[in-house]
Structure 1
Amino acid sequence: MIGSIDCMHWQWKNCPTAWQGDYGNRKGQKSIILEAVAGFDTWVWHAFFGVAGSQNDLNVLGQSPVFNDVLRGQGPNVTYQVNNTVYQTGYYLADGIYPRWTTFVKSIPNSRSQKQKLFATYQDGYRKDVERCFGILQARWLIIRVMGFELALSLI
């Protein structure tokens, strides 16, 4: 597993007037989106920051460079075995909105057997790694919440 992938919408309090139409979300607030892939230790393996606020996770994925290395043949070498089948490509844990691609592993929505329920429990727990990462970013980078997005960009 490469990590858990998800998007977070950050409210942009000091959005320039000229950009307010592009960065307005469904609630009328101005926001900017962070797509991230985080590991179990909340290490950020991929970050794509700055997408306009009215977008959803799928639209962000369409603009994201997350698969650029793989397309160039430079992706991480990941080898693992499941049910006696060896796989050579990494995968991301994702929630239900992401497409049914082999690179995304999602939870089993209506788990019936004990094995499926156990898988869903573990998968949902590990998928929350990216959510924990977002929480840590907000807690440690108070400036993002208080001052707005411009100062956060100047620090990166």
Structure 2
Amino acid sequence: MASYLLSNDSFSENERIIALIQHLEDDDDEVESERVPRSRIYIPRNREEAGENLWKDYFSDTTVFPPYKFKRRFRMRIELFLRISQERYMRSPNAYDVQRLYSKHEEKHGFKGMLGSIDCMHWEWKNCPVALKGQYTRGDHKKPTIMLEAGTSPLAPFEVNGNQYTKGYYLADGIYPDWATLVKGFACLTDDPRIKFTRFHASARKDVERAFGVLQGRFHILRLAARAMSINKMRRFMDCCIILHNMILEDQGFALSDWEEEFITEDMENRPERIPNRGRDQDVIIREIRDRTVHDQLTDDLVEHIWNLPSAFRTMNG
């Protein structure tokens, strides 16, 4: 009927419009009738039952699987898993911790006052909000990524080449700024002291360059694009993986040194308080960290210190 009205010139314009609308509505009804109805399928997951089975398999008095099966599945011993909630893995470093880091890095790499190395890793952000995609997308990465970076510099004085410094430092590569808490190698090797310093610097930085690869190999979640909706949740994921990684190394006997194990069993109440830096003026702290004069002086002192080390130092401590 609608097609007849549209093709017949004897009907008014209003009648033609009404017929056209009716014709379109009839077409929509036919299309809707041909569509397969879609609905979300409910899949019963039985989480409570799964939790009970997990307990029976690994944690009950009569476990189904032996301990080595737990280690194979979860990448850690069951005794280690039961210690995850201990407070010492979640606290911030204090002055005693920093001095131990100084001592170990000087013993292994020859750098006095070294806290570690700093590096970055790009983690793809799958569920990045549309409003933030421009901010977190770089030209060399086609998708939004989060740059994961390690490093803080607490107050912990040390001395090198006769000069006093108030904060430790991290070894970094050339993309980082000339700050008092960052020490970089030399691009132009003009003399033997700089050549030796850069060689030691590159050797020490290999530890952190391998760290992200080890983490991604151990924890599958870090190899995939992050599905979290917030940066804070992604940071917690990474913190969790790093803590678990350090716990596994400790459990496997790869602690910094033998006395580390004695330190682990120490009563937490007898530990020194956390380094007191609250209340200091934030602008003063920023200026101290970004002080290029201190950066240049520290680099010169470290070059002199490394140059005076015995030639067999790396062989003895490799």
Question: Structure 1 length normalisation: TM-score?
Answer: 0.63
After TM superposition, the structure 1 = structure 2 runs for residues 7-26 of structure 1, keeping only pairs within 5 Å, are 7-12=120-125, 14-16=126-128, 18=130, 19-26=132-139
Q: What does residue 34 of structure 1 align with?
A: 148
Structure 1 match to 2:184: 106
Structure showing greater Rg: 2
Q: What is the rounded CA distance, in whole Å, between the counterparts of 2:192 and 2:199 in structure 1? A: 10
2:164 partner SS:
strand
Matching residue within 158, 164, 168 for 1:79: 158
Which secondary structure does the structure 2 equivalent of 1:110 belong to?
Answer: coil
In the TM superposition, what is the alpha-carbon distance from 1:87 to its structure 2 partner? 2.8
- Of the candidates 86, 108, 115, which is equivalent to residue 2 of structure 1? 115
- 2:155–2:166 Cα contact (<8 Å) kept: no
- 1:61-82 deviations in whole A, cap 9, x for unaligned? xxxxx45xxxxxxx24131322
Unmatched 5+ stretches in structure 1 = 38-65, 68-74
1:92 to 170, 175, 184: 170
Distance 2:185 2:227 in 1: 36
Q: How does 1:127-138 map to 2 (within 5 A)?
A: 127-138=205-216
Displacement of 1:95: 1.1
SS in 1 for 2:194: helix
Answer yes or no: is the 8 Å Cα contact 1:92–1:105 preserved in 2. Answer: yes
Q: Which amino acid aligns with 1:78?
A: P
- Counterpart among 227, 235, 253 of residue 150 in structure 1: 227
Where does 1:35-50 land on structure 2 (aligned, <5 Å)? 35-37=149-151
**1:129 positional shift:** 2.2
SS at match of 1:80: strand
Does the C-alpha gap of structure 1 residues 129 and 76 become closer, same or farther in structure 2, counting only changes over 3 Å? farther
For the residues of structure 2 that align with 1:89 and 1:22, how far apart are their CA atoms?
Answer: 32
Contact 1:36 1:130 in 2 (8 A): no
Contact conserved, 2:128 with 2:144, CA < 8 A, in 1? no
CA distance in 1, matches of 2:177, 2:203: 20
Give the 3-state SS of the residue equivalent to 1:150 in structure 2.
coil
Q: Which runs of 5+ in 2 are unaligned?
A: 1-113, 241-318
Report if aligned partners of 2:118, 2:149 keep a CA contact under 8 Å in 1: yes
Give the structure, 1 or 2, with the largest relative contact order (CA under 8 Å, sep 6 or more): 1
Q: Size of the alignment, in residue pairs?
A: 118
- Which whole-Å deviations, capped at 9, do the CAs of 1:115-136 have from their partners, x for residues lacking one? 2111100111212322111111
Deviation sequence 1:76-114 (CA, Å, 0-9, x none): 4131322x2233321111111222222211102111222
2:57 is matched with: none
Q: Distance in 1 between matches of 2:157 and 2:199?
A: 24
Q: Identity percentage over the alignment?
A: 38
Contact residue 157 and residue 164 of structure 2 kept, 8 A:
no
Distance 1:76 1:17 in 2: 37
Bigger share in strand: 1
User: What value does the CA root-mean-square deviation take over the aligned residues?
Assistant: 2.4
Counterparts of 2:156 and 2:129, CA distance in 1: 45
Distance 2:177 2:183 in 1: 10
Is the partner of 2:223 in helix, strand or coil? Answer: helix
Letter matched to residue 198 of structure 2: A
Structure 1 residue 17: Cα displacement: 5.3
